[in-house]
Copies of this chain bind each other. A is one copy, B any other.
Amino acid sequence: MKHFILASTSTLFGETYLAYLQPAMKVLYEGIDEIIFIPYARPGGISHDDYTSRAAEVFAAIGIKVRGLHTFDDPGAAIAGANGFFTGGGNTFLLVKQLHEKGLMNILGEAVKAGAVYMGCSAGSNIGGVSMQNTNDMPIVYPPSFATMGLIPFNLNPHYLDPIEGSQHMGETRETRIKEYHTQNTTPVLGLREGSWIYARGKQLTLEGTLSARIFEAGKEAYELPAGSSLTFLQ
């Protein structure tokens, strides 16, 4: 049974790391006592060890041991044998490059599709989509492919931002960027606001949190979908 969370952000303004997700994490990781942390996105260039420690501290509070994927001699075998994962945010290009170059993207995707529990935040959620092509990140490295795990049949735009009223900045709005994506592609895109997450359990797929999400489908006007909605229609 597929069981995963794809969250817009790890941290809400003024809160501690993963605080708002703790109730959902307790349900997701129920019965699991050890997970693998995937630290490759390296926010702010933090080391793999330091990033893993940061995650381990939060998971320790709910009784779960964390080991960084970078510490295994055979990370592919480690993934195939694990019951649960958490992929932290950071730079999506860096994360995707590492997973592809190490041959781990498909192994991870297959493990999650086979029932291993998964949680991603930000960049870690981007890799749950069909491709990373709706990331907000800067292309600081060149990945061998933009394809990602395809846990869901659409793409995510985490940290979704509405156009800022009265802004005099001439850079493209998020909505404009996603519309440009649809001049070249047909995969739907879900703009996931900070504080929202997607929750999959078996055949169920829902929008969680208190905020609506903005849905972009090729050839249609963008629209709002309320919190609590099923997302199984989106493909």
Contact = CB atoms under 8 A, between A and B. Distances in A.
Interface of A: 9, 11-14, 42-45, 90-91, 93-94, 132-142, 145-146, 159, 161, 168-172, 176-185, 194
| Residue among A93, A138, A183, A185 with the highest chain B CB neighbour number at 10 A | A138
Contacts of A146: 139, 142
A132 B139 contact: yes
A134 B138 CA distance: 6
Contact of A145 (B9, B133, B142): B142
Contacts of A91: 177, 180
A171 B159 contact: yes
A44 to B, nearest CB: 6
A67 to B, nearest CB: 23
22 contacts: A12-B170, A13-B169, A13-B170, A43-B172, A45-B180, A91-B180, A93-B139, A94-B180, A132-B139, A133-B138, A133-B139, A134-B138, A136-B171, A136-B172, A137-B172, A139-B146, A140-B177, A140-B181, A140-B185, A159-B169, A159-B171, A170-B194
Nearest to A134: B138
A142 B133 CA distance: 9
Nearest to A90: B180
Contacts of A9: 170-171
A20 to B, nearest CB: 11
A103 B169 CA distance: 34
A80 B165 CA distance: 45
A121 to B, nearest CB: 10
A194 B169 contact: yes
A150 to B, nearest CB: 16
